[in-house]
Structure 1
Amino acid sequence: MNYIELLFTTLFQEDYQQDLLINELAEAGCDTFEEVDFGFKAYIPSTDFSKADLDKRLEPFHQILSFSYEVNLIPQQNWNAVWESNFNPIQIKDQVWVRATFHEPQPQYPFEIVIDPKMAFGTGHHQTTAMMLDFMLDTVFTGKKVLDMGCGTGILAILAFQKGATAITAIDYDPVCCESTLENAALNHADGIRVLCGSKEVIPNETFDIILANINRNILLDQLETYAQKLKSGGLLFLSGFYEVPDLEIIKSAAAKLQLGYQQHKNSQSWVSAKFIR
């Protein structure tokens, strides 16, 4: 799959102004963002991109924000090179070390995850993935049955395995992500992670102790009822991929109607991860 890189040059007075623009781009289908000195980059699958549609979406923002953007095609082989050149190891709470295959191991960390990211989203560098990993460190996975929705590289499923989960299902709509999850599971000797390609319709007819979903607000809202149905009583739901304002209150309200009780949330640079219980 080829991707479109949207290179935004911005001149904003407040950080929230850029967040407004990024939120609209996420609504338009952009699934990865990267900050640069003069603005940011947004990435969207080429099959989902229409410049005319995007310009129509962005037209109202020109009245209140100062920005311009360029469109670049990123073929899959070049996209992989971009990931490799920008992939630096990260650590979470001095407990998780996430590295690529070309980095040296660090055995002093209780959990080491090796990721060959390719073009799949979820290396731990984005705030949403890092917050989900943080939540997982404080959660008991031993003997648990886990569902990872929007698995990307499989990083969350792999940590669940390393923390003792006994049955893990990882789902993503993108075949590249499914392939990436299988390859990364093998790299980490995470045997038995079941990978399914699709969306909520491919979730198996069974229930789970823990559901992890790091996607975006609209998809989470669309799938929330399914999560509630698939979560065992007392089970935990971790959501991420949305903003604190206004998304968190919208998601909390929708969750409450499904008897999913809000417990807490983490935030980082306006992004949020939230924990619910059924």
Structure 2
Amino acid sequence: MKYIQVTFSFKTIEEYQQDLLIAELGDIGFNTFEEAEGGFLAFIDVNTYSEDQLKNVLKQFEGEFECSYVISEIEGKNWNEEWEKNFEPLIINDQCYVRATFHEAQPAYRYEIVIDPKMAFGTGHHQTTTMMMQYILETDVKDKEILDMGCGTAILAILAAKKGASKLIAIDYDEVCYQSSVENAALNGVENLEAICGGKEVIPSVEFDIILANINRNILLDQIPTYAKVLKDGGSIFFSGFYESPDLEMIKAACVPFGIEYINHKKNGEWVAAYFKKN
């Protein structure tokens, strides 16, 4: 398979700005990113790439940083080999140990998750995923039915399963994420997780006790009405993938018409995760 490689270079850019740019690129189909001197590399299937979409993304950041980019076509890489070079085990709240298949097991931790991310987002290393995992560790999920939207590797759903959730639906529009979710559920012996490829249109018409949505502000704002329909009264929803200002206030405002009340939020760097409850 052939890929488009886009090499981004910046005179100056803040880390949170680069993270936000990567998140927006992910929304238009870029699925692998590598650090490079002065910037980063982004990769996308040649059949998915649209220069108009790329220009529209960059237009959102006009005036925030100076950016140049070079486009080239390449043959597919051994993506697993690439991430294995830098993937290190992760410990969350001294309770959860996240590792790859080539790391040694650590049975001393209460929860151990084995993740083979391939090109899918969600090894737990990004601040948004870490905060969402912290919320899950702090929440009683036993016997709860849970929806994990924008699931990536399904790491959040898998952690909830290990904590006793009764049923889990993990949804992502990316085929690689879907396949990764299926494989990671099997790696962790999770049999009550159903992975679905798609967006809000494939959310089953059932009610959930908890919704996990680690995506980005714009998609969350679009999907909140759908979440409200499938969240049980008294149910909890955890959002991440956005910033404290102005994003959090926008999320709060979008939830008000549906009786979904803000409870609290976490912040890690510029990123935020927030807890809401449906009255």
Give the structure 2 partner of residue 143 of structure 1: 143
Measured in 2, the distance between the counterparts of 1:181 and 1:16 equals 27
Alignment of 1:120-269 (within 5 A): 120-269=120-269
Question: Does the aligned pair in 2 maintain the 1:27–1:218 contact within 8 Å?
Answer: no
Q: 1:230 to 1:240 in 2, by over 3 A?
A: same
Deviates more, 1:10-19 or 1:160-169: 10-19
Distance 2:23 2:185 in 1: 31
Q: Which amino acid aligns with 1:135?
A: Y
**d(CA) in 2 for partners of 1:176, 1:19:** 21
Cα root mean square deviation, aligned:
2.7
Corresponding residue pairs, total? 278
TM-score w.r.t. length of structure 1: 0.88
SS in 1 for 2:227: helix
For the Cα contact (< 8 Å) 1:12–1:18, is it kept in 2? no
Code of the residue aligned with 2:183 in structure 1: it is E
Moved more, 30-39 or 94-103: 30-39
Q: Which residue of 1 aligns with 2:71?
A: 71
Q: Measure, in 2, the Cα distance between the counterparts of 1:126 and 1:3.
A: 24
AA matched with 1:270: E
SS in 2 for 1:168: strand
Measured in 2, the distance between the counterparts of 1:92 and 1:189 equals: 20
Change (3 A) 1:2 1:94: farther
Over the matched positions of the two proteins, sequence identity in percent amounts to 55
Q: Which runs of 5+ in 2 are unaligned?
A: none
Q: Is the CA contact 2:147–2:211 (under 8 Å) kept in the aligned structure 1?
A: yes
| Equivalent residues of 2:31, 2:119 under 8 A apart | no
Inter-CA distance 46–243: structure 2 relative to 1 (3 Å threshold): farther
Q: Relative to structure 2, which stretch is displaced further, 235-244 or 99-108?
A: 235-244
The DSSP-based 3-state class of the residue aligned with 1:177 is: helix
Partner amino acid, structure 2, of 1:69: Y
What's the CA shift for 1:258?
A: 1.7
Relative to the length of structure 2, the TM-score reads 0.88
